[in-house]
Amino acid sequence: MNLDTDIAGIKLKNPVIMASGTFGLDYARLTDPARLGAVIPKSVTFEARSGNPAPRVWETTAGMLNSIGLENRGVTYFVEEELPLWLSLGATVIASIAGETIEEFVRVAEVLSEVEGISGLEINVSCPNVDRGGIQFGCRPRLAADVTTAVKNIANKPVIVKLTPNVTSVTEVAKAVEAAGADAVSLINTVLGLAIDIAAEKPALGRVVGGLSGPAIKPIALRLVYEAAGAVDIPVIGLGGITTSSDAIEFMLAGAAAIQIGTATFVEPKTGEKVVAGIDAYLREHNYDNVTQLIGKARL
Amino acid sequence: MNLDTDIAGIKLKNPVIMASGTFGLDYARLTDPARLGAVIPKSVTFEARSGNPAPRVWETTAGMLNSIGLENRGVTYFVEEELPLWLSLGATVIASIAGETIEEFVRVAEVLSEVEGISGLEINVSCPNVDRGGIQFGCRPRLAADVTTAVKNIANKPVIVKLTPNVTSVTEVAKAVEAAGADAVSLINTVLGLAIDIAAEKPALGRVVGGLSGPAIKPIALRLVYEAAGAVDIPVIGLGGITTSSDAIEFMLAGAAAIQIGTATFVEPKTGEKVVAGIDAYLREHNYDNVTQLIGKARL
Amino acid sequence: MTERHLTQDKLEIISNKVVGDRFYRLTVRSHSWAKTARPGQFAHIRVGTGLEPLLRRPISIHGLDDRDAVAFLYQAKGAGTAALAAMRAGEAVDAIGPAGNGFTVDARYKRTILVGGGIGVAPLMFLAQAYRAKGTAVTVLLGARSKDCLTCLADFKSLGCQVTVTTDDGSEGHRGYVTDILEQQISAGPGPVAVFACGPTVMMRRAATIAALYDVHCEVSLEERMACGIGACLGCAVMTTAGYRRVCADGPVFSAEEVVWIG
Amino acid sequence: MTERHLTQDKLEIISNKVVGDRFYRLTVRSHSWAKTARPGQFAHIRVGTGLEPLLRRPISIHGLDDRDAVAFLYQAKGAGTAALAAMRAGEAVDAIGPAGNGFTVDARYKRTILVGGGIGVAPLMFLAQAYRAKGTAVTVLLGARSKDCLTCLADFKSLGCQVTVTTDDGSEGHRGYVTDILEQQISAGPGPVAVFACGPTVMMRRAATIAALYDVHCEVSLEERMACGIGACLGCAVMTTAGYRRVCADGPVFSAEEVVWIG
Ligand SMILES: Cc1cc2nc3c(=O)[nH]c(=O)nc-3n(C[C@H](O)[C@H](O)[C@H](O)COP(=O)(O)OP(=O)(O)OC[C@H]3O[C@@H](n4cnc5c(N)ncnc54)[C@H](O)[C@@H]3O)c2cc1C
Ligand SMILES: Cc1cc2nc3c(=O)[nH]c(=O)nc-3n(C[C@H](O)[C@H](O)[C@H](O)COP(=O)(O)OP(=O)(O)OC[C@H]3O[C@@H](n4cnc5c(N)ncnc54)[C@H](O)[C@@H]3O)c2cc1C
Ligand SMILES: Cc1cc2nc3c(=O)[nH]c(=O)nc-3n(C[C@H](O)[C@H](O)[C@H](O)COP(=O)(O)O)c2cc1C
Ligand SMILES: Cc1cc2nc3c(=O)[nH]c(=O)nc-3n(C[C@H](O)[C@H](O)[C@H](O)COP(=O)(O)O)c2cc1C
Ligand code: FES
Ligand code: FES
């Protein structure tokens, strides 16, 4: 079965991508990254960031909240220490960029553009867990567009802009970044949420508010993917709560050209591989030739 | 235990309210409405509305989508046929108003203001399942404020404005309706969502997009209630995914002065009564005198 | 609110067994359900105790085993029915009902023809029991993928029904659609005759068309996704000549003429 | 990526039984886990098969029953541990591990003092096994609400440990906190001595302070909410003198000096 996927020039052996912040090198002990379409390591900023106070994760019904706070060791560490390991494992790597200012996004993109082995860039203008940058860029079409333009000016690889669900109109933001030159959009990042630790009568997370992910948010993600795919002509990468190949196929039917898996990996580390196998089986069973035939098929 | 609750002059015997669109007269056969704080019957428009095509409901992981489309028999039927039955059952009734135009909201409020036995009005500027009105009012602070002012001008009862979660900033909308004279806000209405019926390779709902409710959305609702309670001085009524008394208490700790129960009733018709009992037990166990002591206790 | 008897009960499971390819037969003990239930009504059942699956599942009442025992016949399809299938004798099923209106049971009819497709056979057994108790002749036309529920055949026969089976692939009984033989059956005996259908929409629609052609009373039991199951949420609306009506409270049984067939 | 052995396995349940007030002892068969596991490591266990509860649960390795059998001791707290408690012999537990770093096991120590509070006793049994196998003297100080896990007492004793129990209410052993007797125990014999603590934060903090006072090596096993359990998500970070570190991959065992105690 032909699972070849091309996202604005990024060639993937299948449409299954591991979402940023959820798939670390340690998982290579339990599943084979070379079998996946691509891996997006945790977002990197220019300098190292130490992240938010504990607790950083909290389980909710069929979902989880996180407030990691973009903890990472900075772009130099990523390029020198982490990237080579991913490449040696045979992974296709898309790098995720975060920043507090447009300049920071650009500086990280600059470093990553000089490196071999990165297939594309995803700009994370949608992280809800930091005080500056992140979601603030993603919520304002104008700012999101400015980041996109700035990164596009410097980047020598396809640029995917990762959108936040926490907006009144995702289509406005999607159109703005498309106009600014984005090669693709991915959505959704986490949904803003909060939990109360009733035993302590306090907010559960150290930073009070966090990002909701997992099966609970799937219908929200599907709606936003459906809307975004109707609003822009660039490829849409869908994610949010995907745990099975059926889920992945639903996102593709709704208009996604590829999908990402986040939280489900925590539950079942082999989710990525299983979703690839499940898509393959579905296509055979329903007499498709090609995974691209699924894209947008359920759109009215 | 003292569970007396006062929402801007609406006196309730406890803070547990049955949410609009989810608690019909038929439930009186399985649970006693007189034991609840209040009941909010399905939103009424001026004329009867026939609603959306089937399927109108779809189960999702720990949640459900609905696209009922505000089907109702109009305000006259409500006043003449439905309200007397609720009152005869001993229920405290808050009436929910919907409309396509500000004039429609006002006309419904006018009729309801002339009637005895309605303790308050909830204006539903947040229904995602209609083409005109509904969420469009709720997403724009200015429109939401205009509806509020118009209804307040005519209404002779406390007015609660029900807010939508589908906005970038709930605090803006909450502040706008507070400034326009709202006596309280309630939130959240459903979160926009979509499901794909993979067997048919089509959108699951007849109207494609629907509103997500149930346990899945609880963290989203808690976040918005926490934010709204920090932004306004009027009482906040919290709802979204409440199925147990712990859930209800978490909303109150986050800042809600009362709570509503929707989807959980479908799962367990006696949820309302059970939540009342559970709150009572919690207060005793933790040596509270009064349910109002919980309000906002977990706020930092 | 009609004067129907409707309660929420924990019904003790007498047995819950496989009776065909992914078909299960569940029997529960309840004198009050056995006394008040009418053919065509259903139970709105809580499957599992957690929040996933969340909603109750509507399952028709299949019949009465005796004055204390109510039977259900269901097909394990997804997570909900799988959870139900995992329940064991001695445990209790949380059910709301008997819900819905039920089929017309009227001694005026000399003959009744019951048309069932797949799991649509479930409520027809209870209907056959009711008509046979009145001495009415009952013909059962069963359409199946292959041998879905052989025990049902025996049960219908032991009630004294005349049973004809059709399968799409001819692996059992006639080859073809169950409605192929309906015309012939309508005209095969004395009237008044009534047709009752439950199964896939295309089958019910076809049955309705044929019945209309012969001017014969026809009732169909519709399926729609449900949330409350009790008339409160308006989630299970179907289009009828009188506008949207609720499958759970105004149905599931509708006079065939009322139904506006879609798709 | 360290050179640790870490796999995902379906571990066959040998037994899963109540051994105290809401305490369960689970034993599974796995030669490879038994061979590679070190005291202080844990298994990241999938509880249930659905999406609710969603995340895996970290449970320490309690000890080895023999070279094929690995034991866990856990307390039924919420939905996840309840689901685990419902599992039966013959079924399989989906576990990732042995995860985490583990306690130092070093023959250099003449004596070790194991300080456990509540369910914190779980990993200490395995540690006691390891030190007793080296012939090291092991003193166990157990703090409990009341009689949480009496079988543990017998197990420690049969390993040849000296065991002292304290309870908050004096219902068993000494009345007071387990750390009350730590000072006396440290100075009660020859050195070098090492202290290993697992339990409530206040208890571990107190143990760490006392150990520091006597300049004795002390390790604590920290708890934090986890998602991946494998070092990928950075969800289980705790503050240390070297900045945030991951309980699941850099811990759960930390040298007491490293820990920045909060609250
Ligand atoms: C009035 C009525 C009576 C019924 N009687 C029977 C019966 O006697 N025996 C039997 O086997 N089945 C019967 N069904 C169908 C049965 O309700 C569904 O097969 C069952 O709900 C599927 O649940 P699941 O979790 O196994 O499947 P899933 O597909 O996982 O269910 C997902 C969701 O879809 C809903 N759903 C799925 N299929 C249907 C369907 N065909 N109709 C309505 N909702 C559906 C479920 O209730 C649930 O909310 C009846 C349906 C209705 C409306
Ligand atoms: C490294 C490590 C080793 C552990 N070893 C053991 C052991 O051997 N025996 C034992 O009984 N318990 C142990 N625990 C605690 C155990 O993981 C929790 O009690 C358990 O996850 C509770 O799950 P639940 O669903 O029953 O409770 P719930 O409270 O319903 O859990 C809800 C969520 O909170 C998390 N959670 C709840 N309590 C804790 C906690 N104390 N620490 C971390 N996460 C928590 C759960 O994992 C879950 O995500 C250990 C924890 C850690 C971090
Ligand atoms: C623990 C955790 C950490 C995350 N870190 C990042 C990140 O660094 N950058 C990013 O773009 N998204 C991050 N995300 C968001 C995910 O990539 C994804 O968008 C989101 O979780 C929704 O998908 P899911 O439901 O499949 O998890 C993180 C999510 C989780 C749960
Ligand atoms: C089937 C259904 C119908 C609803 N109809 C209305 C309505 O008419 N008016 C309204 O204000 N909210 C309506 N709602 C929204 C609920 O009142 C509530 O805001 C929402 O479901 C979130 O709460 P829950 O998670 O407890 O259900 C409806 C919800 C459902 C599920
Ligand atoms: S399912 Fe709620 S009205 Fe029928
Ligand atoms: S739980 Fe994910 S890094 Fe520790």
Measured CA to CA, the distance from residue B31 to residue B22 in angstroms comes to 14
> Do C115 and C164 sit in the same domain of this protein?
yes
Q: Distances from the Cα of D157 to the Cαs of B5, D162, D173, D235, in angstroms?
A: 58, 7, 15, 38
Q: pLDDT for C5-20, tens place per residue?
A: 899 999 999 999 999 8
> Do D57 and D151 sit in the same domain of this protein?
no
Give the mean model confidence (pLDDT) for residues C54-62: 98
Q: pLDDT for A163-207, tens place per residue?
A: 999 999 999 999 999 999 999 999 999 999 999 999 999 999 999
pLDDT score of D263? 67
Measured CA to CA, the distance from residue A112 to residue A181 in angstroms comes to 18
Choose among A26, A62, A66: nearest Cβ to D231.
A26
The closest-lying atom of ligand 3 relative to the alpha carbon of residue A188 is 19
Choose among A22, A58, A62: nearest Cβ to D51.
A62
> Do D118 and D90 sit in the same domain of this protein?
no
Residue D228 lies in a domain: no
Distance A60 CA to ligand 2 centre (A): 14
CATH of the domain at D83: 2.40.30.10
Question: What are the pocket residues of ligand 3 if the criterion is a CB atom closer than 6 Å to any ligand atom?
Answer: A 19-22, 42-43, 66, 68, 70, 96, 124, 127, 162, 189-190, 213-214, 217, 239-242, 261-264; D 227, 233, 235
| Ligand 4 pocket member B72 (CB < 6 A) | no
Q: Which of D99, D120, D150 is the last residue of a domain?
A: D99
> Do D118 and D56 sit in the same domain of this protein?
no
Do residue B198 and residue A166 have CB atoms under 8 angstroms apart?
Answer: no
Measured CA to CA, the distance from residue A108 to residue B197 in angstroms comes to 41
For ligand 5, mutation pick of C41, C59, C244, C246 (most atoms within 8 Å of CB): C246
For residue B221, pLDDT beyond 90: yes
- Full domain range(s) for residue C80: 7-99
> Do D212 and D121 sit in the same domain of this protein?
yes
Strand ranges (E), chain D: 7-20, 23-29, 42-45, 57-60, 63-66, 69-75, 92-99, 111-117, 137-144, 162-167, 174-175, 193-198, 217-221, 237-240, 243-246, 253-255
Atom 22 in ligand 4: residue holding the nearest Cα = B240
Residue D247 lies in a domain: no
Q: pLDDT for A42-75, tens place per residue?
A: 999 999 999 999 999 999 999 999 999 999 999 9
Atom 2 in ligand 4: residue holding the nearest Cα = B21
- Percentage with pLDDT > 90 across chain C: 83
**What stretch of H or E contains C140?**
strand C137-144
- Total number of domains constituting chain D: 2
Measured CA to CA, the distance from residue B218 to residue B229 in angstroms comes to 16
- Percentage with pLDDT > 70 across chain A: 99
Structure tokens that stand for B265 in this block: 């009733």
Measured CA to CA, the distance from residue D103 to residue D221 in angstroms comes to 8
**How far is the first Cα of chain B from the last one, in angstroms, to the nearest whole number?**
27
Q: pLDDT for B80-99, tens place per residue?
A: 999 999 999 999 999 999 99
What single letter denotes the amino acid at residue A4?
A: D
pLDDT tier for residue C178 given thresholds of 50, 70 and 90: confident
Q: Which of D67, D99, D131 is the last residue of a domain?
A: D99
Instruction: Please give the distance of CA A232 from its chain centroid, rounded to a whole number.
Output: 18
pLDDT score of C146? 63
| Ligand 2 pocket member D57 (CB < 6 A) | yes
3-state class (DSSP) for residue D2: coil
For residue C1, pLDDT beyond 50: no
- The CATH architecture assigned to B5-53+69-194+214-294 reads Alpha-Beta Barrel (3.20)
Instruction: Please give the distance of CA B209 from its chain centroid, rounded to a whole number.
Output: 20
In tens digits, what is the pLDDT along chain D, a chain of 263 residues? 345 789 999 999 999 999 988 999 999 999 999 999 999 999 999 998 899 999 999 999 999 999 999 999 999 999 999 999 999 999 999 999 999 999 999 999 999 999 999 999 999 999 999 999 999 999 999 988 766 676 798 999 999 999 999 888 777 888 888 888 999 999 988 889 999 999 999 999 999 999 999 999 999 999 999 999 999 999 999 999 999 999 999 999 999 999 999 86
Q: Which of A265, A267, A218, A214 is nearest to A238 (CA)?
A: A218
Q: Which of C99, C130, C149 is the last residue of a domain?
A: C99
Residue D241 lies in a domain: no
Which residues are within 8 A (CB) of A261 and not within 5 positions of it... i.e. 6 or more apart? A16, A17, A18, A19, A22, A23, A239, A242, A243, A248, A271, A272, A275
Contacts of A298 in chain B (CB under 8 A): 196, 201-203
Structure tokens that stand for C97 in this block: 């009902």
Q: What pTM, to 2 d.p., does this model score?
A: 0.97
* HEC secondary structure over B178-213: HHCCCCEEEECCCEEEECEECCCCEECCCCCEEEEE
Q: Which residues of A are catalytic?
A: 127
pLDDT tier for residue C179 given thresholds of 50, 70 and 90: confident
- Percentage with pLDDT > 70 across chain B: 99
Do residue D55 and residue A61 have CB atoms under 8 angstroms apart?
Answer: no
pLDDT score of D189? 86
Cβ atoms of residues B126 and B168 within 8 Å: no
* Active-site hit among B28, B123, B127, B161: B127
Measured CA to CA, the distance from residue D197 to residue D219 in angstroms comes to 6
Could you state, in order of their start, the residue ranges of all structural domains in chain A? Answer: 5-53+69-194+214-294
Structure tokens that stand for B234 in this block: 């009027």
Which residues are within 8 A (CB) of D96 and not within 5 positions of it... i.e. 6 or more apart? A30, A269, D6, D7, D8, D43, D44, D45, D56, D229, D230
For residue C150, pLDDT beyond 80: no
pLDDT score of D73? 97
3-state class (DSSP) for residue C23: strand
Residue D252 lies in a domain: no
List residues in chain D touching B: CB distance below 8 A.
Answer: 51-52
> Do C78 and C141 sit in the same domain of this protein?
no
CATH of the domain at D203: 3.40.50.80
Question: What are the pocket residues of ligand 6 if the criterion is a CB atom closer than 6 Å to any ligand atom?
Answer: D 226-229, 231-236, 246-249
pLDDT tier for residue A127 given thresholds of 50, 70 and 90: confident
| Range with the poorest average pLDDT among B146-155, C18-27, C116-125, C164-173 | C164-173
Measured CA to CA, the distance from residue B255 to residue B276 in angstroms comes to 18
> Do D118 and D213 sit in the same domain of this protein?
yes
Give the mean model confidence (pLDDT) for residues C192-197: 97
Distance D57 CA to ligand 2 centre (A): 6
Choose among A53, A57, A68: nearest Cβ to D225.
A57
Cβ atoms of residues A204 and A196 within 8 Å: yes
| Range with the poorest average pLDDT among A14-18, C54-58, C171-175 | C171-175
Average pLDDT of every residue of chain C: 93
Chain B neighbours (≥3 Cβ pairs under 8 A) are A, C, D
Give the mean model confidence (pLDDT) for residues B141-157: 96
Q: Which of B121, B117, B164 is nearest to B141 (CA)?
A: B164
Tell me the sheet residues that pair with D259.
D240
Which ipTM did the prediction report?
Answer: 0.97
The closest-lying atom of ligand 5 relative to the alpha carbon of residue C227 is 1
Q: pLDDT for A232-277, tens place per residue?
A: 999 999 999 999 999 999 999 999 999 999 999 999 999 999 999 9
Choose among D96, D234, D243: nearest Cβ to A68.
D234
Residue C261 lies in a domain: no
